[in-house]
Amino acid sequence: MEKTAAIVKQYGATGLRGGAFKPRTSPYSFQGLEKQGLELMRTAADQVGLPCVSEIIDPNHVNLMHDYVDAFQVGARNMQNYGLLKAIGQTQKTVILKRGMSATIEELLLAAEYIYSAGNKNIIICERGIRTFEKALRNTLDLGAVAYIKNKSHLPVIVDPSHATGIRELISPMSRAAAACGADGIIVEVHYEPEIALSDGKQSLNEEGFKNLMRGLKPFIQAAGKTLAQ
């Protein structure tokens, strides 16, 4: 965590994201380090002076995670976990709400309403690709949803090209496309040595990859005043 945090800070990231609780498709895949993971991420974030965000998967984890993270992430699998949405809606901590893999835009915005109506207005929508018939990519990144939501809603919208494509070589071009269509931020997966990553190594950028990503996004960020987050 500390090595990766130092890399993203060096090249201009404005936040640190790490999964301490990881809902994986297979029960045999790495599930995260839970509380120890939160402690490691908080330490790394403080060392480089970045806010941090981690995924919450259980309403009972609100109190546990509250003091470790600056923002909660609701993953695609929990977008319609209404008990969870209500629980984090009762906090004032920022929430990154990811679109479900088969969710319509209407369903995504109504999920945000659960958080909003419970009293928490600090919501960021995240487009991370949806499941379609196409198998070449992990998911199909719906950039039209970014423009549509920004037109129909006041909520900021960010894009996760790492989970959308699942292919590290496609992250930079899709990040530039996201910036061009008006995304307010981008979250990408980075690891100091992706080959040994316990999770999502094939879609993680190494130091050189992240540096090149930031270089390619610089004109978009400067032109539109956007924030780039890792």
At 129-171, the pLDDT tens digits run 999 999 999 999 999 999 999 999 999 999 999 999 999 999 9
Average the pLDDT over 178-198 and give the result. 95
Q: Quick one: angle between helices 2-10 and 207-224, nearest 10?
A: 40
pLDDT in tens, 46-65: 999 999 999 999 999 999 99
Residue 224 confidence class, pLDDT cut points 50, 70, 90 = low
**Contact, 100 vs 77, CB < 8 A?**
yes
**In this predicted model, which residue has the larger pLDDT, 106 or 221?**
106
* Separation CA 34–CA 20 (nearest Å): 5
Mean pLDDT of the region 183-188: 96
Give residue limits of the domains in the chain.
Answer: 2-224
At residue 40, does pLDDT exceed 50? yes
- Summarised one tens digit per residue, pLDDT across range 69-106 is 999 999 999 999 999 999 999 999 999 999 999 999 99
Say whether pLDDT at 222 is over 80: no
Tokens at 108, concatenated: 């995504």
Dihedral (C-alpha) 104, 106, 111, 114: value to the nearest 10 degrees? Answer: -170
Mean pLDDT of the residues in the chain: 94
Per-residue confidence (pLDDT) for residue 229, from 0 to 100: 45
CATH number of 2-224: 3.20.20.70
pLDDT average, residue stretch 26-46: 94
pLDDT exceeds cutoff 60 at 228: no
* Residue of 52, 57, 90 whose CA lies nearest to 75: 57
Q: Find, among 54, 49, 55, 53, the residue nearest to 12 by Cα.
A: 49
pLDDT of residue 225: 58
DSSP element (H, E) containing 147: helix 143-152
Say how far apart CA 136 and CA 90 lie, in whole Å: 40
Question: What six digits make up the tokens of 85?
Answer: 């949405």
Give the amino acid at 31.
Q
pLDDT at 31: 87
The pTM for the full model equals 0.94
Over residues 180-199, mean pLDDT:
95
Consecutive H or E run containing 127: strand 123-127
In the chain, what percentage of residues exceed pLDDT 90?
A: 90
Q: Quick check: helix, strand or coil at residue 37?
A: helix
Q: What is the mean pLDDT of residues 20-38?
A: 91
The tokens of 151 are what? 């037109």
Task: Quote the DSSP letter at residue 4.
Answer: H
Residue 30 pLDDT greater than 90, yes or no: no
- Measured in degrees and rounded to the nearest 5, phi and psi for residue 203 equal -110, 5
